[in-house]
Amino acid sequence: MVEFKADIVVLGAGMVGVSAALHLQQRGREVILVDRHELAGEETSYGNAGLIECASVFPYMFPRDFNQILRYALNRSPQVRYAVADLPGFLPWLLRYYLASSPQRALHSAMAELPLIRRSLIEHEALIAEADVPQLLRRTGWIKLFRSEATLANALGDLDRAKQYGVDGEVLDSGGIAEREPSLTGNFAGAIRFPAPGFVPDPGGLAKAYAALFARKGGRFLVGDARTLEQRAGGWRIAGANGAIVAREIVVALGPWSDQVFRPLGYAIPLAVKRGYHLHLAPRGNAVLNHPVLDSDQGFLLAPMNRGIRLTTGVEFARRDAPPNPIQVERALPRAHALFPLGDAVEARPWMGARPCLPDMLPVIGKAPRHDGLWFDFGHQHHGLTLGPATGRLLAEMMTGETPFADPKPFAVERFG
């Protein structure tokens, strides 16, 4: 049987795994990238808003407002939906999420992640330049719309708090909204434009461009089954489509499927998923969308992707592998048509993906405590596209003995006991 050998095997070819492979390769390691698909970026990294969110200081924590929690509980919020049949399965995780979202603990998560957020666009810019795909980064920023004075006031308070950490935001009135986005229709109390974040009009294409760069630099991309991972004397082995794949060290970067590796190895990491949907639609007539635009009160986002206008939904709490239920897309469609001139759908059905989340909304990055040569890099919640290159650099620095650019302790798996 053919045997493929390397210093390190990275399991998972989404944005997180490809970025880790590139950073390890830059540091002189021979790396094999393994995925169940023949192409990179075919799962979670394909479906998102396309934002490199270098202005997102505070992670998405569980709300503390009683009325908002009640709307969630009654399944009446456009931002969040849950599958009643799956509630017993994820309720314990939701409780941990709620506890981790106390003001003190939420601030701890924000400050731990802040160095990664600040490096996110810088690391992407370096890889985009090396991959020679400047067309996949637009410096437009994005706009958050508010239909009520109350939601605008709350957002302005959040902006004032974020400004303490270097975040810039431009407050827009109705005239400013019309100037920035003349094709939008609606009654708005105001908006905030965040100018710093980058926008990627093809997130899956960017992951593929990074994988192509990895291959040009001598890396190998192989199809394999991560569930076959086993520890052997002196290293690790998995079954590949064309032979065994062997390495001294292994990186688990499988996003929402990481539990298929760490649970058989005895790790009780509280990984859950927030599912989400998107649908591409053609713009109607000469309508143009210049920025990604979030209708915060109605719980959907429109982004001007290469394939069309991408309508993305809020969060769905359900089992990762449960059948899709695109009710959030169906409810958002008439509201989206009222906001922007949309034509026919480009796809036959909505796409569904799963965001891998830990209760404290921080990823797990670092060495597994009970297995030599086993490393974790998953759980990037809503920020896989944003943080992939930054966490790839942090992991590579840890694995090669460099001084990490950020404190890795908050991301250690040991925080879960």
146-190: pLDDT as tens digits: 999 999 999 999 999 999 999 999 999 999 999 999 999 999 999
Token pair in block for residue 57? 């200081």
Domain assignment present for 71:
no
Burial 380-390 (b: 16+ CB within 10 A, else e): bbbbbbbbbbb
Nearest to 158 by CA among 253, 238, 73, 63: 63
Q: Find the mean pLDDT for residues 19-31.
A: 98
Domain assignment present for 232:
yes
Domain assignment present for 410:
yes
Q: Find the mean pLDDT for residues 315-332.
A: 94
Helices marked H in 164-263: 174-180, 203-216, 259-262
Domain assignment present for 322:
no
pLDDT band for 94, please (50, 70, 90 cuts).
very high
pLDDT value for 73: 86
CA distance 232 to 247: 10
Element containing residue 113 per DSSP (H, E): helix 103-131
Domain assignment present for 83:
no
Measured from the Cβ of residue 319, the count of other Cβ atoms closer than 10 Å reads 15
What is the residue range of 412's domain? 1-61+101-138+199-270+360-417
Q: Find the mean pLDDT for residues 334-348.
A: 97
The alpha-carbon radius of gyration of the chain (Å, integer) is 21
Q: Find the mean pLDDT for residues 101-111.
A: 95
- Domain count of the fold of the chain: 1
Q: Find the mean pLDDT for residues 25-49.
A: 96
pLDDT value for 65: 85
pLDDT above 90 as % of the chain: 91
Q: How far is CA 127 from CA 15, 19, 142, in A?
A: 12, 9, 22
pLDDT value for 221: 98
Token pair in block for residue 321? 């592998």
Mean pLDDT across the chain: 96
Q: Find the mean pLDDT for residues 66-88.
A: 88
Is a pLDDT exceeding 70 seen at residue 1?
no
pLDDT band for 213, please (50, 70, 90 cuts).
very high
Domain assignment present for 265:
yes
Token pair in block for residue 279? 């649908």
| Cα within 13 Å of Cα(340), Cβ side | 33
Domain assignment present for 395:
yes
356-388 per-position pLDDT tens digit:
999 999 999 999 999 999 999 999 999 999 999
Is a pLDDT exceeding 90 seen at residue 289?
yes
CATH number of 204's domain: 3.50.50.60
Q: Find the mean pLDDT for residues 234-256.
A: 96
pLDDT value for 288: 97
Torsions phi, psi for 68 (to 5 deg): -65, -40
Domain assignment present for 278:
no
Q: Find the mean pLDDT for residues 227-245.
A: 95
